[in-house]
């Protein structure tokens, strides 16, 4: 019937349709006014189905994009943990059914897939995430949907969401012990090198505060864009600054270029050691052992950790994925996270989010790295800090240990020098 519309110009037909759209729109918009006010009631309902003999959980790692090389390893160890748990009778007698999603190395996709896992797949918990950006992107999703995320990577702290369990180290379990170690070694000046994103910037903020309180000079602070591979300028600055040590928060490919340039410039671990917090066993092969041997790292787990649990973990992992594979801290933290969730669920005797949160405090696991225990207040876990030295074999060997697990303190409230940070 619109054909009869005698538009005066060719434009009018289109305009009237536009008007129709607007009318439709306002009609729909009006509905929102009333229920818009009391919105919160609509959320928070869960569709998790625990009536059968299986329960769904989600694994959300980047299987494509720039982070895939790292996150695939975490995904592998999560799969290993799930297979072990299922072989052992599941959780509360229910077999774990894994729903895998690809975060595509993009924060936006992480948020989308997290929503999908929670609302469409109705998973009881999600395991994954790597970059701080991906965690920050997922945080509002898990909080608004009231679901659980287990995040397995060391990070910059200053966060504690009731809906996230952080099974990697926070700053007082990695960066602060690393600084303690350097200070103990008589280091009086530091040069900071990092990728330009939130973790290095926050880490360096903490390092600066620590240095100011401990008579350490920070003689330089340089940032390179993520993926940057030309380090001649930065290495020259490091060389001429002549610090006692370099604190390295570079991420990914940049480390390859940085360490090659570093050894090319004639700098050696003996005269100016580099302490890195983002290089694990997995990355050493890519950088080349000859470029990094003798340098220091700070983590909570190394493949060489001497515990029976670790021997079993490494053996099981290599049996599943190949003898040439190595195990690293984030992989181990992810492996732990699934067992910790199992522990919480079994303590709560329920899969419900509120019950799991309630039961979380004090749940512990004999992890490959040693005993880890969940802190119910901040949802981080107590972990032992290890400073390691990269060996000729491409593995990292413990040089110094905090001997016992350090209680997590994501906001560094127990440190006087850190009071102005957050």
SS3 label, residue 293:
coil
Residue 90 or 321: the one with the smaller Cβ distance to another protein is: 321
Q: Which CA distances in Å does 183 have to 71, 151, 270? A: 33, 30, 16
- Taking CB under 8 A as the criterion, which residues in 93-132 touch another protein? 100-102, 104-108, 111-112, 115-116, 119-120, 131-132
Smallest gap, in angstroms, from Cβ of residue 405 to another protein? 27
Smallest gap, in angstroms, from Cβ of residue 396 to another protein? 27
Residue 44 or 362: the one with the smaller Cβ distance to another protein is: 44
The answer to whether 226 contacts another protein (rule: CB under 8 A) is yes
The answer to whether 229 contacts another protein (rule: CB under 8 A) is no
The answer to whether 286 contacts another protein (rule: CB under 8 A) is no
Residue 202 or 384: the one with the smaller Cβ distance to another protein is: 202
Q: Which residue has the tokens 């918009």?
A: 29
Residues 347, 355 contacting (CB under 8 angstroms): no
The answer to whether 133 contacts another protein (rule: CB under 8 A) is yes
By CB under 8 A, name the one of 22, 212, 213, 319 that touches another protein.
22
Residue 141 has which token pair? 């999703």
Smallest gap, in angstroms, from Cβ of residue 104 to another protein? 7
Residues 171, 412 contacting (CB under 8 angstroms): yes
Residues 157, 170 contacting (CB under 8 angstroms): yes
Q: Which residue has the tokens 């560094």?
A: 412
Residue 105 or 303: the one with the smaller Cβ distance to another protein is: 105
Residue 171 has which token pair? 């700053």
Residue 139 or 396: the one with the smaller Cβ distance to another protein is: 139
Segment interacting with another protein, rule: CB under 8 A, options 27-35, 264-272, 349-357, 386-394: 27-35
What radius of gyration do the chain's Cα atoms show? Answer: 25
Smallest gap, in angstroms, from Cβ of residue 53 to another protein? 25
> Apex CA 315: angle with CA 124 and CA 394, to 5°?
105
By CB under 8 A, name the one of 122, 183, 198, 289 that touches another protein.
198
Segment interacting with another protein, rule: CB under 8 A, options 139-147, 171-179, 258-266, 324-332: 139-147
Q: Which CA distances in Å does 49 have to 46, 118, 168? A: 9, 12, 29
Q: Which residue has the tokens 């809906």?
A: 163
Segment interacting with another protein, rule: CB under 8 A, options 192-200, 206-214, 271-279, 315-323: 192-200
- Taking CB under 8 A as the criterion, which residues in 146-165 touch another protein? 158
The answer to whether 285 contacts another protein (rule: CB under 8 A) is no
Smallest gap, in angstroms, from Cβ of residue 310 to another protein? 28
The answer to whether 308 contacts another protein (rule: CB under 8 A) is no
Residue 134 has which token pair? 């991906």
Longest CA span, the chain: 90
> Apex CA 181: angle with CA 308 and CA 417, to 5°?
120
CA pair distance 287, 277, nearest whole angstrom: 15
Helix (H) or strand (E) holding 126: strand 126-128
N-terminal to C-terminal alpha carbon distance within the chain: 65
In terms of DSSP bridges, do strands 164-166 and 126-128 run parallel, antiparallel, or are they unpaired? unpaired
By CB under 8 A, name the binding residues for another protein.
Answer: 2-8, 10-11, 13-18, 20-22, 24-25, 28-29, 31-32, 35-36, 39-40, 42-43, 63-66, 68, 100-102, 104-108, 111-112, 115-116, 119-120, 131-133, 136-137, 139-141, 144, 158, 196-198, 201-202, 225-226, 422
């Amino acid at each position: 019937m619109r054909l009869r519309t005698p538009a005066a110009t060719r434009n009018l037909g289109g305009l009237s349709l536009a008007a129709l759209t607007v009318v439709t729109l306002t009609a729909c918009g009006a509905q929102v006014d009333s229920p818009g006010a009391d919105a919160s009631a609509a959320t928070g309902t869960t569709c998790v189905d625990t009536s059968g003999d299986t329960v769904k959980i989600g694994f959300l790692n980047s299987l494509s994009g720039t982070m895939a090389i790292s996150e695939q390893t975490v995904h592998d160890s999560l799969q290993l943990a799930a297979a072990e748990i299922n072989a052992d009778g599941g959780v509360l007698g229910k077999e774990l059914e894994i729903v895998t999603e690809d975060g595509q190395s993009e924060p936006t996709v992480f948020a989308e897939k997290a929503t999908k896992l929670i609302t469409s797949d109705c998973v009881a918990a999600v395991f994954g995430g790597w970059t701080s950006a991906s965690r920050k992107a997922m945080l509002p999703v898990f909080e608004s949907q009231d679901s659980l995320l287990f995040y397995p990577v060391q990070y910059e702290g200053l966060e504690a969401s009731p809906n996230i369990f952080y099974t990697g180290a926070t700053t007082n379990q990695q960066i602060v012990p690393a600084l303690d170690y350097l200070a103990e070694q008589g280091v009086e000046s530091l040069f900071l090198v990092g990728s330009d994103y939130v973790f290095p910037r926050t880490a360096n903020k903490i390092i600066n505060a620590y240095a100011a309180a401990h008579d350490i000079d920070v003689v330089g602070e340089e940032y390179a864009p993520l993926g940057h591979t030309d380090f001649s300028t930065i290495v020259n600055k490091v060389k001429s600054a002549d610090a006692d040590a370099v604190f390295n928060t570079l991420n990914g490919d940049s480390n390859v270029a940085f360490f090659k340039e570093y050894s090319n410039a004639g700098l050696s671990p003996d005269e100016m050691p580099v302490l890195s917090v983002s290089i694990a066993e997995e990355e050493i092969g890519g950088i080349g052992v000859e470029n990094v041997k003798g340098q220091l790292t700070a983590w909570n787990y190394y493949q060489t950790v001497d515990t029976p649990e670790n021997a079993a973990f490494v053996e099981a992992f290599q049996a599943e994925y190949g003898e040439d594979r190595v195990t690293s801290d984030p992989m181990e933290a992810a492996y732990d996270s699934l067992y910790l969730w199992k522990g919480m669920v079994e303590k709560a005797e329920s899969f419900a989010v509120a019950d799991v949160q309630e039961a979380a405090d004090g749940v512990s696991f004999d992890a490959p790295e040693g005993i880890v225990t969940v802190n119910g207040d901040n949802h981080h876990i107590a972990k032992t800090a290890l400073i390691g030295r990269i060996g000729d074999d491409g593995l990292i060997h413990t040089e110094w240990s905090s001997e016992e697990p350090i209680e997590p303190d994501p906001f560094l409230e127990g440190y006087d020098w850190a009071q102005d940070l957050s």
